[in-house]
Amino acid sequence: MAKSRVFKRDQGFYESIDKYVLPEGINVIAFVLRQAYTFFDKAYEKILSDHQLNNSTWATLYILLLTGNAMYPYELAKFLPIENTSLSPVIDKLEDRGLIKRSRSKEDKRTVKIFLTERGYQLMRDVNPETIELAKFVYGSLSPKEAEALVKIARKIRDKVMIWNERDPAAAEHILERLTTVNTGRSRR
């Protein structure tokens, strides 16, 4: 039986990794956030896979449902956490299933708008109650004050991560504001 090795600080092991360890508490925050996201994402994936959807296809349908309008692909991409070039295969997959339709612009035949079909609306009517139930279960234990604090903290973290990735946090906030306004009919800031 192999004997496990215990590293002691004076063996130089910790000194060599100290530069990679964040100040106490910060690495725990990152770990817990990733854990929460991962498990929440798995729960969502279970719901979505029961309807032959994934996060990208569901998010695309959800944005179209919330806005209630036909959108150009570049407009749609602004709402999604995927790159513009990754949207075409998502749109193709949804169109193949009859959930969305592309419509050529009458003014400019080179451009298309994407809109939900009746079948797409029906699928979202089936899926949304399940996703809402999950969200209520997960966030229902938070008081309104805790929920507000969580959103404020999550925005700060999102903004810093976006800056690190050379993305504009103001654009994400604008999109969130638009979604909130579309979803509730009023601004929620």
Say yes or no: 113 and 155 in one domain.
no
* Same domain (yes/no): 152, 119: no
- Cα 72 to Cα 69, 88, 143, 159: the distances in Å are 10, 12, 38, 26
Residue 1 inside a domain? The answer is no
Extended strands (E) in the chain? 100-104, 112-116
Please check whether residue 38 lies inside any domain of the structure.
no
Query: Domain end: 101, 124, 139, which one?
Result: 139
d(CA 85, CA 161): 21
What is the chain's pLDDT, residue by residue, as a tens digit (189 residues)?
444 544 444 444 445 555 555 666 567 788 888 899 999 999 999 999 999 999 889 999 998 998 887 888 888 887 787 777 788 999 999 999 999 999 987 777 788 899 999 999 999 999 999 999 999 999 999 999 999 999 999 999 888 888 887 878 887 777 677 666 655 554 433
Are 150 and 135 found together in one domain?
no
Give yes or no: residues 122 and 173 share one domain.
no
Q: What is the CATH number of the domain that holds 98?
A: 1.10.10.10
Q: Establish if 62 belongs to a structural domain.
A: yes
**Per-residue tokens: 110:** 């080179």
Query: What is the count of structural domains for the chain?
Result: 2
Residue 75 shares a structural domain with residue 127:
yes
Contacting residues for 47 by C-beta, under 8 A, at least 6 apart? 127, 130, 131, 134
Give yes or no: residues 58 and 78 share one domain.
Answer: yes
Q: 57 with 131, same domain?
A: yes
Q: What pLDDT is recorded for position 22?
A: 61
Structural tokens at position 51: 């309807």
Confirm if 80 and 60 have CB atoms less than 8 A apart.
yes
pTM of the model: 0.72
Within-domain flag for 152: yes
- Determine the structural domain holding residue 149 and report its residue range: 142-189
| SS3 assignment, position 118 | helix
